[in-house]
Amino acid sequence: MFRGWDWATETHDVTVMDHLGARVDRWELAHTEEGITKTLARLARHGAPADLPVAIETTRGLVVDRLLAAGHPVVSVHPNAFHAMRPRWGASKAKTDAGDSLKLADYLRTDGHFLPRLEPTDRATLDLQALTRQRADHIEAKVAAVNQLGALLDAHWPGGKAVFYELDSDIALAFLQRYPTPASAAKLTAGWLEAWCKRRGYSGKKPGSVLIERLRSAPVAASRLSSDAVEQLVRVQVQLVQGIRATIRTLDKAIAEAVETHPYAPLFASMPRIGNVNLA
């Protein structure tokens, strides 16, 4: 028996075909828990799930996960490859759900032995995959938030931007949190700024005189906003960047713990210059 599953966001169509190419069963189902549960039960009436491969035009998603969890071999058919096969069923390129599920089942029947089958991903890998994907999203969000902070400073306090890009990230954010406007930093001296940075572990080689010169020599923005408004905008944006950096550190810790216990990690851990994130 061979199955073709034409999927969509709201409804699906399933066809069951025998080894001679005759349609044994066919039905449409809604993308609901009831529809999927009844479909899995209906498929089971045609045999053991392990003996019932299903062809579908996707490699991931809820339907694929449910089929794999039920024990069905899932054969992912690339949409381009499936489209190239359409002439074998006739010259017309008309597309219907029922017709596509039938064609998928027939494609599986005739060419299934050439097509790779999806295997259920183990839980450790799924967990690690989710952590690394979320970290990538947060890195993207951090870059956007830092760029927004830079644009905000460029528009209202170029001197603060000049110092921000000279300091280490944590120190720069702490500086802007304390001195978010030109007025708040007006009385700073080179000695005080150098000592303040040193207490926070500044690893750069720029002395306080250079930092204060960058702060003072930057052009003055023609901002028409009040000092209070600029202060609020800068501090809120700094808090956003700090919050995202904190979530990234939390994810880094979780990723390191997940990698440490992952069964495949030793296979790649010996690669040169590979850290926990790259290994994950």
Residue 39: its pLDDT value, please?
92
Tokens (6 digits) for 197 = 């940075």
Task: Verify that 83 and 21 share a domain, yes or no.
Answer: yes
Residues 134 and 240 in one domain: yes
pLDDT at 276: 82
* CA–CA distance, 77 with 174 (Å, rounded to integer): 53
Task: Judge whether 205 lies within some domain.
Answer: no
Q: Is residue 210 in some structural domain?
A: no
* Domain-embedded: residue 212: no
Give the model's pLDDT for residue 109. 92
Contact 166, 276 (CB under 8 A): no
Question: In this structure, what token pair is assigned to residue 175?
Answer: 């500086």
**What total number of domains does the chain contain?**
2
- Does a structural domain hold residue 211? no
Are 250 and 135 contained in the same domain?
A: yes
75 and 153: one domain? no
In whole angstroms, what separates CA 151 from the centre of its chain? Answer: 26
Of 84, 118, 152, at which residue does a domain stop?
118
CA 211/CA 203 separation, integer angstroms: 14
Write the CB contacts of 272 (distance below 8 Å, at least 6 apart in sequence): none
Residue 69, domain CATH: 3.30.420.10
In a domain, 203, yes or no: no
Backbone φ and ψ for 202, nearest 5 degrees, come out as: -60, 125
Does 174 lie in the same domain as 114?
no
**Same structural domain, 40 and 64:** yes
Strand pairing report for 2-6 and 54-56: parallel
Q: Which residues of the chain have pLDDT under 70?
A: 92-94
Q: Give the residue ranges of DSSP H helices in 179-207.
A: 190-199
Digit-coded pLDDT (tens) for 172-209: 999 999 999 999 988 989 999 889 988 988 887 888 89
Q: How high is the pLDDT of residue 97? A: 74
Q: What is the four-CA torsion angle of 80, 85, 89, 93, rounded to 10 degrees?
A: 30
Answer with the one of 67, 97, 118 that is the final residue of a domain: 118
- The amino acid occupying position 273 is R
Where in the sequence is the domain holding 73, given as residue range(s)? Answer: 2-118
Query: What is the reported pLDDT for 79?
Result: 86
Residues 81 and 148 in one domain: no
DSSP 109-142: HHHGGGS-EE-PPPHHHHHHHHHHHHHHHHHHHH
Residue-wise pLDDT for 9-19, tens only, equals 888 999 999 99
The tally of CA atoms less than 13 A away on the side-chain side of residue 228 is: 0
**Exposed, middle or buried, 84 (CB in 10 Å: 0-12/13-18/19+)?**
exposed
> So what's the pLDDT on residue 92?
66
